[in-house]
Structure 1
Amino acid sequence: MPSAAPRPCSHPGCGVLVRDGTGRCPKHPKQSWSKKPAAAKRITGRPLQRLRAELFAREPLCRECVKLGLVKLATQRDHIVSLEEGGQDVESNVQPLCDEHHDTKSKAERTRGVRRAWAGYRGE
């Protein structure tokens, strides 16, 4: 029975050929995902829906659009400092945003997260 061709280890900078199909050599096993012990507690379900409704009743317009002199309804309850970056799920850390501004902000947060992850590989 034919086996798959050997491939280089997927760990950055490692070129060891792997033949078992895992993608990683024995020196660089893939870390299993686990929630960080210091991760902020997220609000979910009905309490979250109530908080969203209260936020939009209090501040119905996108905060970033208002800064630009635009009028656009907010559709997202956004954390000013993301939970991943140490923010808390408290009322003082949330803002109403439209989809466009929320997507832009989320993309920047994901980019910073990827950079943090890769910095661990490079030893920075």
Structure 2
Amino acid sequence: MPTAAPRPCSHPGCGVLVSDGTGRCAKHPKVQWSKKVTAAKRITGRRLQQLRKELFEREPLCRPCFRAGRVTLATMRDHIIALEEGGLDEESNVQPICADCHDAKSEAERARGVQRAWSSYRER
């Protein structure tokens, strides 16, 4: 049975050839993803639905749009400081936001997350 040609280790900066099919050399094993022990507990279900309803009754317009002088109906309950970045799931850290503002904010948060993930890569 033919085997695949060796490929370089997929760890950034490592060029060791690997032929076992894992994509990583013995020096750079791939870390298995698991939920962080410190991950914030998210509010879900009916409790979240009630909180969304109360937020939109209290403040129906998108807060970032309103600050920019636009009038846009809010459709999402957003954490001002993302839970992943240390924010808490409480009312003082929540804002009403429209889909466009949410997408832009999420993209910026995602980029910061990628930076955090890549910053942990260093030669062992």
Q: Same fold (TM over 0.5)?
A: yes
Aligned to 1:35, what secondary structure does the other structure show? coil
Match in the other structure for 1:68: 68
The yes-or-no answer on 1:118 pairing with 2:121 is no
Structure 1 residue runs of 4+, over 2 Å off? none
Code of the residue aligned with 2:102 in structure 1: it is H
Residues of 2 paired with 1:102 and 1:122: CA distance? 33
Match in the other structure for 2:98: 98
**TM-score under structure 1 normalisation?**
0.94
Code of the residue aligned with 1:37 in structure 2: it is V
**TM-score under structure 2 normalisation?**
0.94
Match in the other structure for 1:39: 39
Q: Which consecutive unaligned segments of at least 5 residues does structure 2 have?
A: none
Code of the residue aligned with 1:80 in structure 2: it is I
Code of the residue aligned with 2:45 in structure 1: it is G
Q: Which whole-Å deviations, capped at 9, do the CAs of 1:25-75 have from their partners, x for residues lacking one?
A: 111111111121211111111111111111111111000111111111101
Residues of 2 paired with 1:24 and 1:89: CA distance? 38
Code of the residue aligned with 2:20 in structure 1: it is D
Code of the residue aligned with 1:23 in structure 2: it is G
Residues of 2 paired with 1:122 and 1:19: CA distance? 23
Match in the other structure for 1:23: 23
Aligned to 1:95, what secondary structure does the other structure show? strand
Shift of 1:76: 1.1
RMSD: 1.1
